[in-house]
Amino acid sequence: MIYEIIYAMILMLLQGILPKFVGFLDGDVTKPYLLSARDEAINMSSRASRATRAWQNLLESSPVFFTIAILSIHNGVESQMPAQAWLVCRMLYVPAYIYGLNYLRSSLWIGSILILIYMASRLF
């Protein structure tokens, strides 16, 4: 379970960088902007904006994942497989969101939430 926590943290870091990277690829973000204090907002492409929203969504659900994962370790509850499934859902969620695959994105989000509920239920 420790590795799943580390992988989730890596996912958070990579996903935090992704919106500006996608914006750079789409031509909305320039090198000077990346090196600036970013005092002024810029208009981002729809793909970069989706990447930002996907990252914000991860920021909302990851504290729940981390809490459940740590409690699972503390209580000796085996939750490695569901944690891996959660990570897969969250990794697939990003390209589904960026490319506007709405039904797949929603299914992956629902799946990740159901996995968190399953993991939490195993703690009782």
Task: Catalogue all structural domains in the chain, each as residue range(s) with its CATH number.
Answer: 2-121 (1.20.120.550)
Q: Are 47 and 26 in contact (CB under 8 A)?
A: yes
Half-sphere exposure of 103 (CA within 13 A, CB side): 0
E strand or H helix at 55, and its extent?
helix 46-75
Looking at residues 104-117, what average pLDDT do you find? 98
Q: Are 8 and 66 in contact (CB under 8 A)?
A: yes
pLDDT at 38 over 80: no
Per the document, the length of the chain is 124
Q: State the alpha helices, DSSP H only, in 1-124.
A: 2-25, 31-35, 46-75, 80-98, 102-121
Q: How many other C-beta atoms lie within 10 A of the C-beta of residue 29?
A: 20
pLDDT digits (tens, 9 = 90+) for 90-107: 999 999 999 999 999 999
Going by the DSSP 8-state scheme, the letter that residue 123 receives in this structure is T
Global pTM reads: 0.90
